[in-house]
Amino acid sequence: MLGCASNWMRCCVASSYVLAVHTLVGAGIIHTRKAEEDDNRLSYLATKFLSTGEGAYLNWLRLYDPDKAWDTPNFRRELDSCPNPLYYASLGGIADTANRLVEEGTDVNAQGGYYGNALQAASAEGHDRIVEVLLSKVAVQELGN
């Protein structure tokens, strides 16, 4: 009987942890989207957070992937299985951060994620400002070829 209680308790703790992580991380995207227009520092920090070289980006996606919010954490996920940071900035509607990533040279045509690429993610979620930035960058690239 004690074993059943222990397993039940372990399950409850794990479920609570996953719910807490999903709530905090999901809410973080919304708060960043709403606050970044008034604070350039927040846009800078969000860009730094989304940097693939810092480790925070990969750890975030291991805990919570906005494309698969229902999934449990995948602590073995590797960076090469993740869409680029521009995809998630576009998906979340974090316009200033997406613009900064584009200015820093992020590949706007990179493939990955549920929607396929950053432009399709921004379009599907109704983030018109990001769609305009991405389309203008794609147009400039096409003119250069």
Query: 30-85: per-residue pLDDT in tens?
Result: 445 555 666 667 777 778 888 877 788 898 888 888 898 888 889 999 999 999 99
Residue that wins the pLDDT comparison between 125 and 143:
125
Tens digit of each residue's pLDDT (9 = 90 or more) over 76-103 = 999 999 999 999 999 999 898 999 999 9
Task: State residue 37's pLDDT score.
Answer: 61
Task: State residue 144's pLDDT score.
Answer: 62
Cβ neighbourhood burial of 123 (10 Å; 0-12, 13-18, 19+): middle
Q: Which residues contact 16 (CB under 8 A, 6 or more apart)?
A: none
Task: State residue 135's pLDDT score.
Answer: 94
Please check the confidence at residue 23 and state whether its pLDDT lies above 80: no
Cβ neighbourhood burial of 27 (10 Å; 0-12, 13-18, 19+): exposed
Nearest partner of 50 among 95, 93, 87, judged by Cα? 87
| CATH number assigned to the domain covering 2-144 | 1.25.40
Domain boundaries, the chain: 2-144
Q: What's the average model confidence in pLDDT over 122-145? A: 84
Task: State residue 79's pLDDT score.
Answer: 93
Task: State residue 63's pLDDT score.
Answer: 85
In whole angstroms, how far apart are CA 9 and each of 47, 52, 74, 136?
A: 38, 36, 21, 53
